[in-house]
């Protein structure tokens, strides 16, 4: 029997109720924003394709050389739109952050980024080949001539080099070999790459200046993108940091290699439990780099708390922080919060230090006794054990402790839960899992295993809310 192969975790979930809450106004607004964003993206791509066709794009396909040049123009136009969209996706625009959440934005950002770079390479190759009268052997010489004689082309080559570096370091195999600090610094060159490409496109691209409508469209798109970066990535963090006066108030060791940092603020910040912020601690070297950390306690009069596992230079420096250290903050970011909630009952599933935002959610979410269950897989001493026990006693949070290392590839459970499958174990412990919102935080591959299991248990994609510790 299943009960013979599974331990009896403390606080096994009970009563498979089907009470639901209607989607909140915020959830409906976010769904509308997601739809509008997709429509706007496709409308932009179709518009520039229409302008290409209206400018003789199809008629130029009648000859080999003109056809190459014309196709190169089209790929360049599409690449330009996607390149600017890629920057907008990471500009921290609040309406997009709220609607998509960082995990989804990152996935779309990667897809759009690789697509735009591929189209950009096609633009360079096809256009140069066409200018060389369709003779492949003459293409290298033609590329050199274009680079040194056409206005803005040297800047465009430099911009392409910057974007190439960003793309190569964004491949998963390369990211695994880089420290977060190095990857983050290299990734900033994407802004330089886009900026260096602008003069070439506006000085020599006939599709950019052929009509007032096209001029307004392209200049407007560049202006909106630049303004978004300057406002949301630069100005707003500085204003908020000055307004809220965040300072370190205490540094508390939680476990071997895990530390909590408490911070005080002049006034409550507009941040929700489950979200994360970018922190720059003004305490010597490394302050120029922002590090994303989730809140591990509900924000309130006590200020903010983050709990971090020491894995790099930035996190190691947290142990040496002194009370009174000033902090620059960016955010809040992420959608792993009450904003995404659509059901009255919730399941929180975390692994290792990924439990931190779920700890804040367990404290801050509104739920009746028994309506919230936490499944926590850990291989060492569990974090916040006494705090979770207090929440269980005070608020009726049901906590299922799942100790042990991952028992097998593809399984998100620990080796202490017996031989039952992940799906059988989950539906035994939380029989109404399909009627809950599911919040998940942990390593990206582990979170994907949880996604597959909850999907098999009947949880739809729009009720699976994830925050991965991946970059």
What CATH number should be reported for the domain holding residue 266?
2.40.30.10
To the nearest whole percent, how much of the chain has pLDDT over 70? 83
Same domain, 268 and 408: no
pLDDT exceeds cutoff 90 at 339: no
Same domain, 41 and 143: yes
Q: Name 151's Cβ contacts closer than 8 Å, sequence gap at least 6.
A: 199, 200, 203, 204
Structural domain span for residue 73:
25-240
What residues form DSSP beta bridges with 406? 414
Strands 346-351, 372-378: pairing kind: parallel
Mean pLDDT of 82-91: 88
Same domain, 365 and 303: no
| In contact, 170 and 15? CB cutoff 8 Å | no
Tell me whether residue 19 is in a domain.
no
Last residue in a domain, options 223, 240, 257: 240
Query: Where does 61-152 have alpha helices with state H?
Result: 64-89, 94-100, 102-131, 139-149
Tell me whether residue 186 is in a domain.
yes
Last residue in a domain, options 272, 306, 333: 333
Tell me whether residue 69 is in a domain.
yes
pLDDT at site 431: 94
pLDDT at site 301: 72
The order of strands in the sheet holding 304-309 is 247-255, 258-264, 304-309
Mean pLDDT of 33-61: 91
Domain count, the chain: 3
- Specify the higher pLDDT residue, 307 or 255: 307
E strand spans, 282-324? 291-294, 304-309
pLDDT per position as a tens digit, 415-450: 777 778 889 999 999 999 999 999 999 888 889 999
- The whole-angstrom separation of Cα 359 and Cα 65 is 62
Same domain, 262 and 113: no
pLDDT exceeds cutoff 80 at 318: yes
Lowest mean pLDDT among 133-137, 318-322, 369-373, 424-428: 133-137
| In contact, 217 and 209? CB cutoff 8 Å | no
Mean pLDDT of 69-81: 89
For residue 406, what is the domain's CATH number?
A: 3.40.50.80
* Sole residue written with tokens 């609607």: 99
Closest by alpha carbon to 340, among 82, 26, 81?
26
Tell me whether residue 365 is in a domain.
yes
Residue 202 vs residues 57, 123, 163, 213: alpha-carbon distances, Å: 19, 16, 19, 14
Tell me whether residue 305 is in a domain.
yes
Q: Name 8's Cβ contacts closer than 8 Å, sequence gap at least 6.
A: none
Same domain, 225 and 282: no
- Per-position b or e across 166-203, b if 16+ CB within 10 A of its CB: bbebbeeeeeeeeebeebbebbebbbbbbebbbbbbbe
Same domain, 352 and 308: no
pLDDT at site 249: 94
Residue 113 vs residues 98, 121, 177, 187, 436: alpha-carbon distances, Å: 21, 12, 20, 12, 34
Same domain, 293 and 425: no
Closest by alpha carbon to 11, among 395, 436, 454?
395
Q: Three-class SS of residue 219?
A: helix
Q: What is the largest CA-CA distance in the chain?
A: 79
Same domain, 162 and 304: no
Same domain, 358 and 454: yes
Tokens describing residue 70: 């014309």
Categorize the per-residue pLDDT at 375 as very low, low, confident or very high, splitting at 50, 70 and 90. very high
Tell me whether residue 306 is in a domain.
yes
Average pLDDT value over all residues in the chain: 83
pLDDT exceeds cutoff 90 at 360: yes
Q: Return the DSSP state at 447.
A: H
Mean pLDDT of 284-296: 82
Lowest mean pLDDT among 17-21, 121-125, 143-147: 17-21
Mean pLDDT of 81-87: 90
Last residue in a domain, options 190, 211, 240: 240
What residues form DSSP beta bridges with 440? 349, 466
Q: Three-class SS of residue 69?
A: helix
pLDDT at site 184: 61
Residue 52 vs residues 47, 132, 343: alpha-carbon distances, Å: 9, 21, 47
Tell me whether residue 20 is in a domain.
no
Displacement of CA 395 from its chain's centroid (Å) = 32
End-to-end Cα, the chain, rounded Å: 41
Same domain, 186 and 74: yes
Tell me whether residue 279 is in a domain.
yes
Lowest mean pLDDT among 9-13, 102-106, 297-301: 9-13
Same domain, 323 and 350: no
Cα-flanking dihedrals φ and ψ of residue 274, to 5°? 100, -20
- The whole-angstrom separation of Cα 235 and Cα 290 is 15
pLDDT per position as a tens digit, 232-279: 988 999 999 999 999 999 999 887 788 999 999 998 888 999 999 999
Same domain, 403 and 458: yes
Q: Name 438's Cβ contacts closer than 8 Å, sequence gap at least 6.
A: 346, 347, 349, 454, 459, 463, 464, 465
* Sole residue written with tokens 């006034």: 267
| In contact, 414 and 403? CB cutoff 8 Å | yes
E strand spans, 311-463? 327-333, 346-351, 372-378, 398-403, 437-442
């Amino acid at each position: 029997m299943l009960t013979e192969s599974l331990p009896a975790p403390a606080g096994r979930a009970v009563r498979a109720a089907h009470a639901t809450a209607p989607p909140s106004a915020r959830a409906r607004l976010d769904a509308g924003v997601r739809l509008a964003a997709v429509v706007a993206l496709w409308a932009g791509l179709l518009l520039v394709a229409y302008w290409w066709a209206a400018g003789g794009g199809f008629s130029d396909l009648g000859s080999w050389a003109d056809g190459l040049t014309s196709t190169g123009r089209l790929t360049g136009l599409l690449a330009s739109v996607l390149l600017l969209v890629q920057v907008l996706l990471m500009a921290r625009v609040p309406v997009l952050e709220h609607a998509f959440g960082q995990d989804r934005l990152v996935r779309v950002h990667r897809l759009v980024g690789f697509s735009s770079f591929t189209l950009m390479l096609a633009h360079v190759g096809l256009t140069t080949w066409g200018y060389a009268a369709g003779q492949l052997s003459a293409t290298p010489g033609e590329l050199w001539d274009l680079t040194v004689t056409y206005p803005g082309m040297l800047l465009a080559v430099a911009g392409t080099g910057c974007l190439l570096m960003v793309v190569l370091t964004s491949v998963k195999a390369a990211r695994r070999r880089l420290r977060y600090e190095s990857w983050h610094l290299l990734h900033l060159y994407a802004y330089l790459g886009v900026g260096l490409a602008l003069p070439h496109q506006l000085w020599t691209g006939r599709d950019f200046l052929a009509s007032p409508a096209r001029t307004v469209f392209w200049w407007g798109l560049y202006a909106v993108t630049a303004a978004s970066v300057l406002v949301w990535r630069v100005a707003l963090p500085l204003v908020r940091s000055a307004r809220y006066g965040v300072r370190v108030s205490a540094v508390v060791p939680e476990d071997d290699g895990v530390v909590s940092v408490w911070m005080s603020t002049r006034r409550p910040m507009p941040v929700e439990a489950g979200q994360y912020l970018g922190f720059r601690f003004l305490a010597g070297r490394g302050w120029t780099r922002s590090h994303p950390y989730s809140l591990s306690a509900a924000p309130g009069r006590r200020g903010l708390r983050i709990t971090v596992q020491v894995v790099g230079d930035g996190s190691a420096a947290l142990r040496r922080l002194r009370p009174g250290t000033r902090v620059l903050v960016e955010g809040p970011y992420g959608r792993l919060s009450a904003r995404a909630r659509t059901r009255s009952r919730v399941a929180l599933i975390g692994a290792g230090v990924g439990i931190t935002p779920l700890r804040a959610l367990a404290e801050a979410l509104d739920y009746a006794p028994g309506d919230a269950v936490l499944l926590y897989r850990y291989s060492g001493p569990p974090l916040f054990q006494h705090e979770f026990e207090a929440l269980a006693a005070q608020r009726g949070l049901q906590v299922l402790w799942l100790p042990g290392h991952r028992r097998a590839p593809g399984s998100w459970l620990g080796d202490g839960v017996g031989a039952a499958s992940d799906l059988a174990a989950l539906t035994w412990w939380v029989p109404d899992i399909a009627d809950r919102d599911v919040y998940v935080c942990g390593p990206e591959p582990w979170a994907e295993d949880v996604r597959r299991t909850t999907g098999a248990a009947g949880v739809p994609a729009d009720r699976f809310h994830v925050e991965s510790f991946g970059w």
